[in-house]
Structure 1
C-alpha cells in the first residue's frame, strides 16, 4: 500500500504544490464531501426510491474503498468508440469479457463499467460478485466519415435484467446532436431510477470550435463545469468528467464579437485560480456542491509514467472535493498484475487520510 511519503515521491517536483495547496476560491466548508455516511446524508432526502438507495449502497460498499464514500470504478467500453483492435492490441487478453470483470475484482474496484455485450456474456457468473454499471450508449467510429454522436445500444430494462446496479451514459455537450442526447439520456435515467438503478453520466464536451488558437477548451473548467451542471440537472447521481487542464473556454469562444453562451468574470477571478485543484473544485461546485459525486477519468495510457499520472489525478480529485477516479486504459493495456497495482495505487490515495481536502 502506498503511504503519504510514497505518494509524494511519485508526485515528484509537483508534490509540494499538490499536497500542501490551500484553496482560497470556493471554501471546502461549502462542499458536501464524500464520507462513510454520504448516502444517508445526501441521497436519503432526495426523490430516489429505496431500490436506488440499495443500489448505491452496493456501489459504495464494495472493494478496497468500501464504506469510505469514495469510488474506484474500472471502465472498459473503449472497444466500441476507440475500436477493439486499438484498445486491446496492447493486451489481447481483454478481448475476452471475463478478464475485464476479473481485473475489476482483482483490482479491488467498487464496480466495473462496460458494455451490454461484455456484462451479458458473464452476468450469471459475476453479477453477485461485483456491481455492474452498464454503459447504454456509445459513439462508433466505423461509419465513414466519423462523427461525434452517441446512440443507444440497448435498453434500460436489459441492464436491469442482467443485474446492473447502475447505468452509465455519455452526452457530448456542445455537439450538434447534444439536444437529442440530453432527451434520450434523461429518459433513460428516469427509467433507471424507477427500476432501482443508480445513474452515472459521462459529461463530455465535443465541438471542433472548442479548439482555438492551439488551445483545447474541451478540458476548460468553465465549459466542463457547465456540462456537469447540465448532467446533475437530469439527475445523474455521479458525474464522470475529464480533469480540467485550462480555463476560459467561454471567453475564448467569444473573442472577435461572437455571442456564445453565458459566463461571468468572477468564475475566473474568484471561483477559480490557475491551480489544478481549484479548477477541479469548480467542477465539483457545478455538481450541486458535491451532492452528486465527481469522478474524474484517468485518461489514456502513456506508458511508464502511468502510475505517477494516476496518483496525481487522484490527489487533485480528492483534494478538490471529488469522489474518486474511473480509470481504464492505464490498467487494462498492460498485464493484469501491473493493472491491479495501478488501480490499488489510485485507491491508496483515497485511503490515505493525510491527503486531505485543500
Structure 2
C-alpha cells in the first residue's frame, strides 16, 4: 500500500507539518555519520562505538543512521501464552531470530534464554541486545516491578553487542531499579556493549479524571532525560498521546514555556519534545510499535514511524505487531516501517 493510503486523512497533517517550536537545526539528527559526528567525542569506549556502528550497518536500514529493532521480551512481560498463542511457531527462539533476519532488522532484543538458545546459530547474523530485567506476571497478586533476570557478563558471553533494561519511573520501586540499571550500564560499557533503556512510566496515580498521563509528552520527556543521564545510548519510549501531565497531576516541576512555546498538540511536536529531552537527539529515541490489534496494525505502525522520523527520532522497535502473525506478514509489516525511514520524501520537520 502507498504511504498516503496508509496515512489516510492524516496525510497532509503528518507529511506537511513544519515544526515551529524547536527547529531541526538545533538537533543532532540521525544519519550515516551519527557515530562519528555525535558520539565519538564522548566518553564511550571504542568497543561501544564499534558495536553501535555494527548495528547501524546491519539490515535494510544499513547506512542510514536509523534503526528497526525486533523486541521479544513479551513472553515474560505479558506471559508466553498471551504473546505466542496467536502464532505458536514463535515459541521457538530460532524462529524469532529468523524473523529478525528475514525482516531486515538492525537487531533483535530479547531475553537471556531466547538469545542464549539461538546464540551459536544467529549471533553472527543479526546483532543481539539482551534485555536484562523484566516484569513477570505470575506473582499473585501481580506486582509491577522490574527485576534482573540476567547479568551483563552473561550477555557478553553469548555474543551480545548491547544490553537493555526497563525502569518504571514514578513507581515505588523506581529508585532501586535505577540503581541496578546504572550499575549494569556501567558494566556493559566497560565490556564494549551499548545500552538501551525502556524509560517507561508506571503509577496508577498517573491516571487522573479519566485521562491516562503515562504517555504525556512532558512526563515521558523527563523520563527520557533521566535515561540519558544514566548513559543510555538509546532510549525506548512510547509515543506521546497528549501533554500536560505535570499540571494535571500537580506534582514535580515544569515551566509554562513547555506548553506555551516549546510544544503544540501536534503529534510530531509532542514527539520532538521527547527527542529534545534525549540531549537534543544525541541519545537516539526509538518509539515502541505498541500492541497488536489486528487489521489496523500496518497503518498504525507506519503512522508511528512517520511521526518518529519527522520529529527527529532514530527509529522504531516493533514486536507483537510482527510476530503475532505468520512470518511473511510479519516481514511485510517490518519492511513497511523500514520503508518510511528509507523514503527521502519523509523529512525531519
Tell me, yes or no, whether TM beats 0.5: yes
- The counterpart of 1:67, out of the listed 47, 63, 73, is 63
Q: Distance in 2 between matches of 1:90 and 1:306?
A: 15
Q: Distance in 1 between matches of 2:46 and 2:339?
A: 31
Answering whether residue 332 of structure 2 is matched by residue 341 of structure 1, we say yes
Q: Distance in 1 between matches of 2:46 and 2:19?
A: 37
Aligned to 1:87: 83
Answering whether residue 47 of structure 2 is matched by residue 51 of structure 1, we say yes
Aligned to 2:129: 133
SS for the counterpart of 1:353 is coil
CA shift at 1:42, angstroms?
A: 1.1
CA shift at 1:147, angstroms?
A: 1.4
Aligned to 2:221: 225
- The counterpart of 1:108, out of the listed 104, 110, 114, is 104
Answering whether residue 328 of structure 2 is matched by residue 332 of structure 1, we say no
CA shift at 1:168, angstroms?
A: 0.4
1:78-128: CA deviation from partner (whole Å, max 9, x where unpaired): 000100000111000110111110000000000000000000001011111
Q: Distance in 1 between matches of 2:95 and 2:210?
A: 39
- The counterpart of 1:294, out of the listed 278, 285, 291, is 285
CA shift at 1:133, angstroms?
A: 0.3
Matches within 5 A, 1:233-244: 233-244=229-240
Matches within 5 A, 1:147-296: 147-254=143-250, 260-296=251-287
SS for the counterpart of 2:321 is helix
Answering whether residue 310 of structure 2 is matched by residue 314 of structure 1, we say no
CA shift at 1:228, angstroms?
A: 0.2
* TM-score, normalised with respect to structure 1: 0.97
After TM superposition, the runs of 4+ consecutive aligned structure 1 residues lying more than 2 A away are none
CA shift at 1:217, angstroms?
A: 0.2
User: Structure 1: any 5+ residue segments left out of the alignment?
Assistant: 255-259
CA shift at 1:287, angstroms?
A: 0.1
CA shift at 1:264, angstroms?
A: 0.7
Q: Distance in 2 between matches of 1:323 and 1:81?
A: 24
1:2-36: CA deviation from partner (whole Å, max 9, x where unpaired): 7xxx1111100000000000111111110000000
CA shift at 1:73, angstroms?
A: 0.1
CA shift at 1:248, angstroms?
A: 0.5
Q: Distance in 2 between matches of 1:37 and 1:158?
A: 31
